[in-house]
Chains A and B, each alone.
Chain A
Amino acid sequence: MRRGSNNLPSTGTWKTIFKIAWRNVVRHGKRTAFTIITMCFGIGLYIGLDSIFKGMDKAGLENIINLTDSSVRISTDKYEAERNSLPLDYGLSKIPELEKYIMSNDGVEAITLRTRFLGQLSNGMDSIPVTGIAIDPVTDPKVFTIPKYIEGNWFSENSQANEIVLGKRLAGELGAGINDWIILSSRTKYDTQNADDFLIIGLIDAPEVSLNTHGMLLSFKDAEEFLDLEELRTEIAVRMKNRINIEDLMKDSKIVAQNIQKEFPGLSAQSFEEVGKQFLEISKSKSKATGVIIFTILLIAGVGIANTVLMSVYSRIREIGVLRAFGLQRKDISKLFLVEGAIIGVIGSLAGVILGIIFVSYLIFFGIPAEKMMGSIDMTGLYMGKIIYGHWSTKTIIVGAIFGFIVAVFAGSFPARKAAKMEVTDAIHFI
């Protein structure tokens, strides 16, 4: 059986090129292994770091939704403009009408009213500034999951005493515990200073630094008198029905926020995405930083591959000459070394993906004990829960593998070109 001759390598030639490339990769096991380990480490680290950062992003957004601001946060424009100082002013009006409208939106599950204020907690010796939130103890747990993280008790409807719940770390700083009395001081709605004793009924030990270190809750029942609130409510927090994908929840929340702003001019309705804007910006910077790290590692791996293949070229000059003498063209020689780079790339990428998957699996199931590792460092804007869990991303794994492979082929292309440029007469040293 005769086959037509053409300039393209046949399956048999490809098979031989692959066979020679593969066996050379195996033959120089040590230097190949070093290159593969570098690649594996680079890709594995990329997948792992991305998993941590994505996990932190997800947990950070979940904290906004579940612990601090809810899916949609509504207040007046004026209040929003002065939010940083948490004024006891610019309260919401026509609240029943507003509540009715919000609940009529698709996807809204529950709402609650809140009033934030600035205060000081003192144990008689030391005082610490706190962010107080006056809440409705009945509706608040329908929107926020804070009671899940309470040590001690939640507010009881019939309690006669002034009760507060505060961050566990904050209580620790004050040397206070459950059933201890503590002095809360704050300016009232009428800008007069007020102070009173409060009974600590619970401690918040949530995966949210701001709540743990300077968060404090009290019921509207106690806040009315203490702050002279006179029914002042500065914000409405909205819980949306759960969606498996956080991006879908983001869309739902955005629609509700837009509807409210349209219907009630003068109100500021912000979805959790907008609330977490600063947080997400930091997250983007983290991704860029990760990109730089990974690029550097893969650059090192790329140089390693180029070096490995180049060493292979130099140690096989005669072989190149022989293959050229027997009729392989320059481009075929180039392919031989490109395949060698590609084989290293495939093995390195696969090993990196496997390492990455192991790393991510560990992060998903066990997480990183961030609190133990970093103590009480407050990294503003970054999620710093007790344990940081990883997030699975198939896209990242595929991108990591493809990127690693491309780097390998690209790195292999330089020595491959060098091999192809060799003059056959010089290469074989004879003829």
Chain B
Amino acid sequence: MEKILELENVVKTYTKGDEKINALAGVNLSITKGEFTALVGPSGSGKTTLLNIIGCLDSPSVGNIFYNGSLLSNLTENELSDYRKEHISFIFQSFNLIPVLTVRENVELPLVIEQKLSKEEIKARADDILKAVGLKGKEDRFPRELSGGQEQRVAIARALVKEPFIILADEPTANLDSHTAEEIIDIMKNINSTRNATFIFSTHDLLVQKHARRVITIRDGFIHSDAKKEE
């Protein structure tokens, strides 16, 4: 299996006043392409910090992080920003769509920022992904005109549109009812299998954990358990 992400002895230390807090205390982790992985653990266990570092939103204090074999730990903030722009996508708990942009504009946003495709290509990609998440015909609506489930679909489409190495999702079903949550999981799973997209999501939702093919439990900044399910 193709390894796309590798963390080597990653430590993240924050300073709060005189106190030093080890949010991550030496994490080793490999992610292969096409994984559908859940990060679980109690609040304050280090899930968020781990997702920050995997998402290139933060740098580790110690340790290395490799994406497709390239070492990213020592990149500057702007270099990390450029890397994110091309290879990483996010789905947020509160959807975090841009309220003044339409569904289509929200989905196209990462490609516009990426600056690699022509206008026509961007449109075609957005059409394709909106169809995949079942939002065809709702392209010109604004987020306020959508239900929570539809908003999360837009967020998924926005995350997938640039075909990233990895999609990081923070509690993607936390703000949804169980029925809609199941729909969203189905969409993510479907995209995961049809497009071989890699998902890592932090979650407390047992339903999501049930569908994950790998569940990593974090406690006190360490990986407490790493369970892979047989297909």
Contacts and interface: CB of A to CB of B under 8 A. Distances in A.
A327 B113 contact: yes
Given A319-B98, A321-B96, A431-B168, A327 B119 contact: no
Given A326-B90, A425-B58, A20 B96 contact: no
B15 to A, nearest CB: 14
B57 A424 contact: yes
Interface string A1-37: 1110111011011011001100110010000000000
B117 A1 contact: yes
A430 interface: yes
Given A321-B96, A329-B81, A430 B105 contact: no
A23 B85 contact: no
Nearest to B98: A319
Contact of A2 (B93, B99, B116): B116
A327 B113 CA distance: 7
A303 interface: no
A10 B171 CA distance: 33
Contact of A23 (B96, B100, B117, B118): B100
B48 interface: yes
> Nearest 5 A-B pairs (CB), nearest first?
A327-B85, A23-B100, A430-B170, A431-B51, A10-B115
B175 to A, nearest CB: 12
A328 B109 CA distance: 11
A324 interface: yes
B149 interface: no
B220 to A, nearest CB: 19
Nearest to B111: A12
A428 B78 contact: no
A49 to B, nearest CB: 38
B119 A430 contact: no
Given A12-B115, A430-B48, A325 B84 contact: yes
Chain B: number of interface residues, binned into ranges: 35 or more
B112 interface: yes
Interface string B72-88: 00000110011011100
Contacts of A5: 82, 86, 114-116
A382 B89 CA distance: 69
Interface of A: 1-3, 5-7, 9-10, 12-13, 15-16, 19-20, 23-24, 27, 318-319, 321-330, 424-425, 428-431
15 contacts: A1-B118, A3-B116, A5-B116, A6-B115, A10-B115, A12-B115, A16-B112, A24-B100, A318-B92, A322-B92, A326-B90, A330-B77, A430-B93, A431-B51, A431-B90
Nearest to B162: A326
A16 B101 CA distance: 9
Contacts of A15: 112
A2 B119 CA distance: 11
A318 B94 CA distance: 9
Given A5-B82, A431-B52, A319 B96 contact: yes
Contacts of A10: 115
Interface in B165-213: 168, 170-171, 202
A13 B100 CA distance: 15
Nearest to A1: B118
Nearest to A430: B170
B57 A329 contact: no
Given A1-B121, A322-B98, A431 B113 contact: no
